[in-house]
């Protein structure tokens, strides 16, 4: 359909939705998941961008410099980024203060994946070419990709100052502001731009992405639909609409959109395509299609993903399906502390397949080492280290000294392809990690004098980027739960909890007990014991909740309707003792919090 054929009244209704897009939103949960497709616009090596650089080169008087830079630009057009880098360096050897040469070198190195060096090149170019807006735009996009949204916003503002009204600059500034949780600013910028440019599909997509990050998937759908009406082959909009659909519990619709995104994304940015493949895998898992879902989940390891960990392991990688019998296997924890605990669900099956626990080596986050050593006493358990370098992450196992004792290695989640291909393959007995029994007894003794049932609560995660932040309900909505009589509530939440604890005391009249002498962020072995000492743990899916579930503690999980880690089940296959409470979407948690309060009151009465 032509853009101009949209009925006037429908366009007016859409604008009315737009005017209300800055209303307050609520937030909430699932587990690890891929990110929204980056809605930033532009590419440092696009034909348009290189054309602007070429135009600047044409005004240079030094003919030898012109020849070198023209050759570098030609190489970039041909995607020969190594040759582009060589010629840009030759130009700088001729004149190290040639800003255009620094810009070309920055583009070359960005495309080669050397992001840290690329940023330094762009910064040098911007100092030498203070009025050269495209350099600021390239710097902003790179800073955004590297997870520096506030810095990206500064560069995009600089770009916008040089080109007032530029839609690419407006869009990208809004992206950075949204990622920095400055939602109202982002929405206002987009709303103003869309009133003047209602046919700009990219702006509609970005507005939808901001609203998904804030938890309003229903409104976001409207804006993604408009982006796709204007540009039916817009792969990023399909991808992002999939997230909105997942938030609304529509796993099947999310999978359809993921597959449409891949169809229309071919030939595009490699990181975006890798992100789309990763998203498709979690949509399959959310539908309960586990065998194909886990196979597709290998997309999480694609080198095209900007934040993927590159494993530095000098041994062959195990291929799912190959026999493990008698193999000395190294299992590598991955993706984050909570995921390492979650995926450890598969280790006992792995030991059975190997035939001897002493042949297993497990490398996990250092805070988990004592817990895993107790749980797998005959295995070798050491800590990994993940370090950033030039915009990439590198995973290593520095405590392994004798690599000749290892035959094969595998990322932990890759074992799920073989051992968790169906919901029936998950063990039904709770607890696959073993909390310290002495510390469990200690914490139970500490709580002996406290009245009623002992219920541990957690309400947020330290990982609150824009994508993660919407997954948690506002603390004020915990009121009906915390006001349940006959309970001593225990703080299990790591991080700075003083504002919430004070709020509960002043507004609810409830004192949340803070366990003394334990660091809830770092003393994870003791945290596991504390969780196991509880009569019940209630909270969202973060590292502590996963510790509670993995150690067999009774627990209630607050999570999204189509959170992929539910694997299409009504319960929670990873931890069979867990009861699940889920809202229809992330925009309103009040109903679910009321359900939890009613269930808790019934538990006390029972």
Report the C-alpha gap between 582 and 558 in whole angstroms. Answer: 6
- The CATH number of residue 444's host domain is 3.40.50.2000
In total, how many domains does the chain have?
4
* Angle between helix 167-179 and helix 133-145 axes, rounded to 10 deg: 30
- Partnered with residue 491 across adjacent β-strands are 457
71-97: average pLDDT: 94
The helices-and-strands tally (H runs, E runs) of the chain is 27, 12
Give the span between the Cα atoms of 588 and 476, in whole angstroms: 12
Last residue of a domain, one of 307, 329, 364: 307
Q: Is 70 exceeded by the pLDDT of residue 237?
A: yes
pLDDT tens per residue, range 334-373: 988 999 999 999 999 999 999 999 999 999 999 999 999 9
Asked if residues 580 and 571 have their Cβ atoms less than 8 Å apart, the reply is yes
Residue 134 lies in a domain: yes
pLDDT of residue 424: 95
Same domain, 140 and 60: yes
Q: Any idea which of 172-181, 340-349, 432-441 has the lowest mean pLDDT?
A: 172-181
Q: Is residue 582, in this structure, part of any structural domain at all?
A: yes
Backbone angles phi, psi at 540, to 5 degrees: -90, 170
pLDDT at 5 over 80: no
Q: Do 212 and 303 fall into the same domain?
A: yes
Instruction: Say whether pLDDT at 31 is over 70.
Output: no
pLDDT of residue 8: 43
Distance CA 555, CA 580 (A): 9
User: Do 182 and 276 belong together in one domain?
Assistant: no
- pLDDT tens digits, 525-579: 999 999 999 999 999 998 999 999 999 999 999 988 788 999 999 899 999 999 9
Does residue 255 sit in the same domain as residue 297? Answer: yes
Highest mean pLDDT among 198-202, 390-394, 498-502: 198-202
The reply to whether 429 falls in a domain is no
Q: How far is CA 314 from CA 27, 66, 353, 370, 395, in A?
A: 43, 45, 23, 26, 12
Residues 268 and 321 in one domain: no
Instruction: Give the up-direction half-sphere exposure of residue 340: CA atoms within 13 A in the CB hemisphere.
Output: 22
pLDDT above 50: residue 3 = no
Distance CA 235, CA 469 (A): 24
- Predicted confidence at residue 161, as pLDDT, reads 87
Q: 306-337 burial, b if ≥16 CB within 10 A, otherwise e?
A: bebbebebeeeebeeeeebeebbbbbbbbbbb
More confidently predicted of 276 and 330: 330
147 shares its domain with 229: no
> Is residue 36 in a domain?
no
| Structural domain harbouring 210 | 1-30+198-307
Does residue 215 belong to any structural domain of this protein?
yes
The region of weakest confidence among 11-20, 380-389, 403-412 is 11-20
Q: Which of 170, 189, 208 is the last residue of a domain?
A: 189
Cα dist. 269→39, 76, 243, 258, 301 in Å?
12, 15, 19, 16, 17
Which ranges of 415-476 does DSSP label H, i.e. alpha helix?
416-419, 437-446, 466-469
Mean pLDDT of 270-277: 86
CB within 8 Å of 87: residues ≥ 6 apart: 68, 69, 71, 72, 75, 104
Residues 69 and 150 in one domain: yes
- Joined tokens for residue 194: 């869309």
> Rounded distance, CA 327 to CA 226, Å?
54
Measured distance CA(238)–CA(261) in Å, rounded: 5
* Residue 432 forms part of a structural domain: no
Mean of all residue pLDDT scores within the chain: 88
Both 181 and 54 in a single domain? yes
Q: How many residues does the chain have?
A: 606
Residue 397 lies in a domain: yes
Residue 473 banded pLDDT, cuts 50, 70, 90: low
Residues 499 and 594 in one domain: yes
Closest by CA to 194, choosing from 395, 18, 416, is 18
Lowest mean pLDDT among 85-94, 109-118, 352-361, 516-525: 109-118
**Burial (0-12, 13-18, 19+ Cβ within 10 Å), 176:** buried
**Mean pLDDT on 170-181:** 91
pLDDT band at 468 (very low <50, low <70, confident <90, very high): very low
Distances in whole angstroms, Cα of residue 339 to Cα of each of 45, 470, 502, 547: 36, 19, 31, 10
- The CA distance from 522 to 130, in Å, is 46
What is the C-alpha separation between 395 and 399, in angstroms, rounded? 12
Instruction: Tell me which of 421, 456, 489 is where a domain ends.
Output: 421
Residue pair 415/327 in contact (Cβ under 8 Å)? The answer is no
Please tell me whether residues 463 and 595 are part of one structural domain: yes
Distance in angstroms (rounded) separating the CA atoms of residues 220 and 226:
10
pLDDT digit string, tens, across residues 387-424? 877 667 889 999 999 999 999 999 999 999 999 999 99
pLDDT tier at 213, thresholds 50, 70, 90: confident
Model pTM score: 0.81
Could you tell me if 303 and 314 lie in one domain?
Answer: no
Q: Let me know whether 595 and 468 are in one domain.
A: yes
**According to the model, what pLDDT value does residue 35 have?**
61
**pLDDT value of position 336:** 86
Q: Answer whether residue 88 is part of any domain.
A: yes
């Amino acid at each position: 359909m032509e853009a101009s054929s949209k009925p006037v009244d429908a366009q007016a209704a859409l604008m009315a939705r737009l005017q209300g897009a800055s209303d307050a939103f609520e937030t909430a949960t699932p587990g690890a998941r891929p990110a929204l497709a980056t809605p930033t616009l532009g590419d440092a090596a696009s034909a348009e961008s290189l054309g602007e650089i070429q135009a600047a080169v044409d005004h240079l008087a030094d003919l030898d410099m012109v020849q070198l830079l023209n050759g570098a630009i030609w190489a970039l057009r041909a995607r020969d980024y190594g040759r582009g880098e060589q010629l840009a360096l030759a130009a700088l050897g001729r004149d190290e203060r040639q800003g255009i040469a620094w810009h070309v070198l920055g583009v070359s190195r960005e495309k080669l994946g050397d992001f840290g060096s690329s940023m330094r090149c762009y910064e040098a170019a911007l100092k030498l070419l203070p009025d050269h807006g495209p350099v600021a735009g390239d710097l902003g996009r790179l800073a955004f990709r590297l997870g520096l949204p506030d810095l990206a916003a500064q560069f995009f503002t600089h770009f916008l100052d040089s080109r007032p009204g530029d839609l690419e600059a407006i869009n990208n500034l809004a992206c950075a502001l949204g990622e920095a949780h400055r939602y109202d600013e982002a929405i206002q910028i987009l709303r103003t731009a869309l009133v003047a440019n209602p046919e700009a599909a990219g702006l509609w997509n970005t507005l939808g992405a901001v609203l998904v990050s804030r938890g309003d998937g229903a409104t976001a759908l409207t804006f993604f639909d408009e982006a796709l009406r204007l540009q039916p082959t817009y792969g990023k909009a399909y991808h992002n609409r999939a997230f909105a659909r997942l938030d609304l519990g529509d796993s099947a619709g999310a999978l359809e959109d993921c597959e449409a995104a891949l169809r229309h994304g071919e030939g595009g940015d490699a990181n975006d395509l890798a992100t789309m493949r990763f998203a498709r895998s979690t949509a399959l898992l959310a539908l309960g299609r586990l065998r194909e879902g886990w196979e597709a989940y290998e997309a999480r390891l694609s080198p095209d993903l900007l934040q993927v960990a590159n494993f530095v392991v000098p041994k062959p990688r195990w291929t799912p399906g190959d026999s493990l019998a008698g193999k000395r296997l190294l299992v590598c924890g991955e993706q984050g502390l909570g995921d390492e605990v979650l995926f450890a669900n598969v280790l006992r099956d792995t030991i059975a397949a190997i035939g001897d626990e002493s042949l297993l080596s497990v490398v996990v986050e250092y805070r988990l080492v004592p817990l895993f050593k107790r749980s797998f006493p005959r295995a070798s358990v050491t800590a990994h280290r993940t370090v950033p370098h030039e915009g990439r992450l590198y995973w290593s196992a520095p405590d392994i000294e004798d690599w000749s004792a290892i035959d094969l290695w595998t990322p932990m989640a890759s074992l799920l392809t073989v051992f968790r291909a169906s919901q029936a393959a998950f063990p039904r007995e709770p607890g696959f990690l073993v909390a310290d029994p002495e510390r469990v007894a200690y914490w139970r003794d500490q709580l002996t004098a406290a009245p009623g049932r002992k219920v541990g609560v957690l309400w947020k995660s330290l990982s609150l980027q824009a994508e993660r932040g919407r997954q948690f309900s506002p603390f004020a909505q915990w009121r009906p739960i915390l006001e349940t009589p006959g309970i001593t509530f225990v703080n299990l939440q790591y991080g700075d909890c003083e504002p919430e604890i004070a709020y509960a005391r002043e507004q609810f009249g409830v004192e949340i007990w803070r366990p003394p002498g334990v660091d809830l962020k770092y003393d994870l072995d003791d945290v596991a014991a504390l969780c196991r000492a509880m009569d019940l743990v209630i909270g969202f899916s973060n590292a502590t909740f996963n510790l509670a579930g993995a150690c067999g503690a009774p627990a209630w999980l607050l999570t999204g309707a189509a959170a992929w880690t539910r694997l299409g089940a009504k319960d929670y296959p990873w931890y069979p003792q867990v009861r699940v409470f889920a809202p229809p979407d992330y925009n309103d948690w009040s109903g679910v919090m009321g359900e939890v309060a009613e269930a808790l009151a019934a538990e006390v009465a029972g």
